Structure 1
Amino acid sequence: MNAKTAATEGAAPADKPRVRDRILDAACDLFYRHGIRAVGVDAIASEAGTNKMSFYRSFPSKDDLVAEYLTDQEREYWARWDETIAPYADDPRRQVEALVASDIDLAWLRAKAIEGCKCKTSRGCALGNAAVEIPEDNERLGEIVHEYKTEIRRRLRKLAREMGAREPDVLGDALMLLREGGYYTRLTFPENSGPIAAIVKAARALIAAHVD
C-alpha cells in the first residue's frame, strides 16, 4: 500500500530513497496496518531509519504526513480503477462487473506485498478507515476523504447512467454501498471467506433489477 521508490537491495548510496520518501513509505505501511492515531512520529521515524528532527524537516506536522498518505492512497486507487475498466471500453456494465470482481481479487494485494508492503491482507479502504479516526473539526483531512468518496459515487452513478439504468443514481449508490460493505467484511472474514464472496452475483442482480 506504499508509494515505494525504485531503490533495490545493494543499490549505490545515490540510489537510496530520500529521507522524505522513506518516511512516507513507513507511514503508509504503519497507518494502514495499525491506524493513524495509534502510530506516532517516533514509530514512523524509527521505521524509516531516521529521527524526529529529519521527520519535521520533511513534514511540518503529523497532519501534513497524513494528508500525503491519504493523497497517495487515492492516487493508487484511481490508477487501479483505470487499469481495471480499461479492457471494457464502451461497455459500462462490464466495467462495473470488473470493478466489483476486483474487490475480491487478492492478486493486486499480493503484488503490493511483493513491492514491500508488510500488510499482506486487506484492512479495508484506507481512506474509509481514516474517516473513522479523523476528528470532526479537522476539515483539511476530512475534505480529502469526502472528495474521494464523492468521486467514487459520481463515477458509479455515471456508469449506471451509461448502462441505461432506470434510476441511475439509485443504482450507483446501491453499488457503492455494496462495495463499501464488502471491503469491511474482509476484516472479520479473511481471505474472502465471508459475504464478499457473493459480491459479483449481488452486483449483477442489482444491475439486472435496474436495467433489464
Structure 2
Amino acid sequence: MRPNKRDELVRKALQVFYRDGFHATGMDKLVVETGVSKTSMYKHFRTKEELILAVLRLRDESFRNWILRRVEETADTPAGQIVASFDALKEWFEEDGFRGCMFIKAGAEYQEADHPIHVQAAEHKRLMFEHIARLARKAGARDPEKLANQIVLLQEGAIVSAVLLKNGDPAEDAREAAQLLLETALA
C-alpha cells in the first residue's frame, strides 16, 4: 500500500466501526468494506486493536477540530462558546448517519481502565473537558472545573439521549440547563 492508502484504510475503517461497533466488526468484514486485502491490512496494523487506536486518533482530531471551529464561528465570548457547544452538538445529532459518540462506544466496549482503547477514549474526553474548563476560566466562573464537569455531563447526556431518542431535542434541553449553570457560576 502507498502511504496515503494507510490513511484511506483508517478513514474507511472509522466509518465501519462507527456504524457497526468495534467488537461486532471483524477483520473479514473490514476487508470487504474497505476493499483492502487482509495481508495489506496486517502490513500496517498488526492487530485489530492497533487499527482501532488509529481510528480513534483520527476521529479525535477531526471531531475536536470540527466542534471547536463551529463553536468559535458561532460565539465570540468564552461563555457564549460554552453555550454554542450545544448548538454544534445539535448539528451533529441531525447529521445523516449519526450514531452517537465513538469514544463512549469505545469506553463501553473496552471497559478495563488500563486497556489502550479505553485509555484513548478517556483521553478524548479529558481533552474536551480541558477545553470547557479553559473557557469557564476565561469566562470568570467561580469554580471553573466544577462548571466544566457539569457542562460535560450535560453534553454526554445529550449525546446518549440523542442516540436513544433519535432527535436533536436533547441538545436544546441541555443548552438551556447549561445557560442556567453559567448564570449561576458567573454571578
TM-score (normalised: structure 2): 0.88
Is the CA contact (8 Å cut-off) linking 1:23 and 1:44 kept in structure 2? no
Are positions 1:206 and 2:185 aligned together? Answer: no
The residue type paired with residue 44 of structure 1 is L
Task: Identify unmatched segments of 5+ residues in structure 2.
Answer: none
For residue 61 of structure 1, report the CA deviation from its aligned partner: 1.1
Q: 1:161 to 1:138 in 2, by over 3 A?
A: closer
Larger radius of gyration: 1
Q: 1:135 to 1:176 in 2, by over 3 A?
A: closer
In structure 2, distance between residues paired with 1:197 and 1:98: 10
In structure 2, distance between residues paired with 1:175 and 1:160: 10
In structure 2, distance between residues paired with 1:189 and 1:137: 29
Aligned counterparts, 1:1-212, within 5 A: 19-87=5-73, 88-89=75-76, 91-106=77-92, 110=95, 120-136=96-112, 139-192=115-168, 194-212=169-187
Q: 1:20 to 1:148 in 2, by over 3 A?
A: same
Is the CA contact (8 Å cut-off) linking 2:112 and 2:118 kept in structure 1? yes
In structure 2, distance between residues paired with 1:27 and 1:34: 10
Residues 92-136 of structure 1 deviation map (CA, whole Å, 9 limit, x = unaligned): 011111112111114x964xxxxxxxxx23221111111111151
The residue type paired with residue 97 of structure 1 is V
Task: Identify unmatched segments of 5+ residues in structure 1.
Answer: 1-15, 111-119
Residues 115-170 of structure 1 deviation map (CA, whole Å, 9 limit, x = unaligned): xxxxx232211111111111517532222122221121122122112111122111
Is the CA contact (8 Å cut-off) linking 1:97 and 1:200 kept in structure 2? yes
Question: Which of the two has greater helix per residue?
Answer: 2
Is the CA contact (8 Å cut-off) linking 2:87 and 2:172 kept in structure 1? no
In structure 1, distance between residues paired with 2:176 and 2:45: 45
Is the CA contact (8 Å cut-off) linking 1:19 and 1:50 kept in structure 2? no
| Helix, strand or coil at the partner of 2:91 | coil
The residue type paired with residue 180 of structure 2 is A
For residue 77 of structure 1, report the CA deviation from its aligned partner: 1.6
Q: 1:134 to 1:39 in 2, by over 3 A?
A: same
The residue type paired with residue 175 of structure 1 is I
| Helix, strand or coil at the partner of 2:163 | helix
TM-score (normalised: structure 1): 0.79
Q: 1:23 to 1:184 in 2, by over 3 A?
A: same
In structure 1, distance between residues paired with 2:38 and 2:142: 56
Percent pairwise identity: 25
| Helix, strand or coil at the partner of 1:147 | helix
